[in-house]
Amino acid sequence: VAEVKGGEDEGAAWVGKELTVRGWVRTCRAQRTVTFVEVNDGSCLSNMQCVLTPDTEGYDQIDCVTTGASVIVEGVVASSQGGKQKVELKVSKIVVIGESDPTSFPIQKKRASREFLRTVAHLRPRTNTFGAVARVRNALAFATHKFFQDNGFVWVSSPIITASDCEGAGEQFYVTTLLSNTAEGGCLVNNIPSKDGRVDWSQDFFCKPAFLTVSGQLNGETYASALSDIYTFGPTFRAENSNTSRHLAEFWMIEPELAFADLNDDMACASAYLQYVVKYILENCKEDMDFFNTWVEKGIIDRLSDVAEKNFVQMSYSDAIELLIRSNKKFEFPVKWGLDLQSEHERYITEVAFSGRPVIIRDYPKEIKAFYMRQNDDGKTVAAMDLLVPRVGELIGGSQREERLDHLEARLDESNLNKDSYWWYLDLRRYGSVPHAGFGLGFERLVQFATGIDNIRDAIPFPRVPGSAEF
């Protein structure tokens, strides 16, 4: 359907040609002599209006042509009398492939709430909104690879199971599995390790505690220290017990790592990348973006066009704190230097102070940032940057990495982290260390930002959040 209706002429060039459409019935309207069946095949938002008459082969099955049923329709493309579309299909033959009981099919024509649709996540891609989100998400993934590939980055697969906690926030999921010595021998038994160290790790599958990764960065750094610019793009996991509209337990992250680069290079890459993918969907997903503009977030196209064209605001953390104090606004978390910015502060900065523009904040206090970030000369801050956008808040977090062995060892000690378990990471600083920098972008937050969808649970096909891993 996208091939027929997607062109500038909305299908006019197809008039008179034969066409077969395979898809799912959205609606079926019977009039006196003709029956209109709207069929969607998922290739685009538009349905194909299919016109059936009693002469149509298979018309005897018309009672089974109900919302949700799968059908194959064959016919000839014709100009449409109705104002809604340029062309329709005069159907010569219809075959019902899979029936759908209209009394129990959960997705009816009336608009269902997003909350309800989350309970039928297996069927929600059949709706306009979730079909459009899925296509735009796909386009953003494609544009991501295209941007980095065109700029000479190598895609590296970082592991999903790991023994290191990149962010040091203790939010990992254990994947530890004990090998039990039962009579049957060697069967695997899932076991949650006890915190008091009574677990006999020699009996464990990995012989040490292992987790689902929270970030591929540390592994990415090893490849950037050999291949120069690389990026990862894969699932990451965080057991944060936060029921918010911007946190998932399983989310996809894009993590470029630039060799021979500093924080300015990192910010320039993040800005260029974000502008590229935004421009890409505005140009390549017009129909879906128009849909979001009308039904999901009014004005999103103008907002994104601005993002694609205008420079982002840049300011230091210290200046951001000053701006928040000068605002005289009553925040739930009082503002003072050293505070980790909360979403209320981030929203004020992007939404109020800079009326909707992305803002990059740099040089954060070292106490609130991860051990691997490079210390600035002031001794108080690190070369970190966060990119904030309206509604979503933090879209990107990045930094220049500490490439000096002595500084990094001191930071590990300060952070009470065990140097021995980072031996391979420290090796990168022992053998041919280079200044390098990178960032992580939460892919679902990008989908939220790009579609206007306000809950992150609607930006991924199957959301994983506390208390829910259905489907």
Piece in contact with ligand 4AD (CB under 6 A), picked from 48-56, 155-163, 433-441, 463-471: 433-441
Candidates 121, 111, 107; CA nearest to 67 is 107
Q: How many residues bind Mg ion (CB under 5 A)?
A: 1
458 binds ligand 4AD per the rule CB under 6 A: no
Q: Facing residues of 155 across strands?
A: 231
256 binds Mg ion per the rule CB under 5 A: no
CB nearer Mg ion, residue 87 or residue 387:
387
Q: From Mg ion, ligand 4AD, none, which one binds at residue 248 (CB under 5 to 8 Å depending on kind)?
A: ligand 4AD
The pairing of strands 18-30 and 48-52 is unpaired
Q: For residue 120, what are the CA distances in angstroms to 46, 53, 127, 154, 292?
A: 22, 34, 11, 38, 21
Q: How many residues bind ligand 4AD (CB under 6 A)?
A: 24
Exactly one of 442, 447, 450, 452 binds ligand 4AD (CB under 6 A); which one? 442
Exactly one of 444, 452, 457, 463 binds ligand 4AD (CB under 6 A); which one? 444
Piece in contact with ligand 4AD (CB under 6 A), picked from 281-289, 339-347, 391-399, 424-432: 391-399
Exactly one of 23, 440, 452, 463 binds ligand 4AD (CB under 6 A); which one? 440
Question: Rounded to whole angstroms, how far apart are CA atoms 399 and 383?
Answer: 6
CB nearer Mg ion, residue 26 or residue 246:
246
Residue 129 tokens, joined: 């909104």
Residues 6+ apart with CB under 8 A from 285: 135, 136, 139
What is the sign, positive or negative, of the torsion defined by CA atoms of 131, 137, 142, 146?
A: positive
Piece in contact with ligand 4AD (CB under 6 A), picked from 46-54, 327-335, 347-355, 435-443: 435-443
Which stretches of 155-230 are DSSP H helices? 217-227
247 binds ligand 4AD per the rule CB under 6 A: yes
Exactly one of 91, 269, 395, 450 binds ligand 4AD (CB under 6 A); which one? 395
Half-sphere exposure of 138 (CA within 13 A, CB side): 13
Q: Which residue has the tokens 């033959």?
A: 93
Q: Which residues in 434-461 are b (16+ Cβ under 10 Å) and which e?
A: ebbbbbbbbbbbbbbbbbbbeebbbbbe
Exactly one of 358, 397, 435, 438 binds Mg ion (CB under 5 A); which one? 397
What are the residues binding Mg ion (CB under 5 A)?
397
- Which positions touch ligand 4AD (CB under 6 A)? 166-167, 215, 217, 238, 240, 247-248, 251, 253, 255, 394-399, 438-442, 444-445
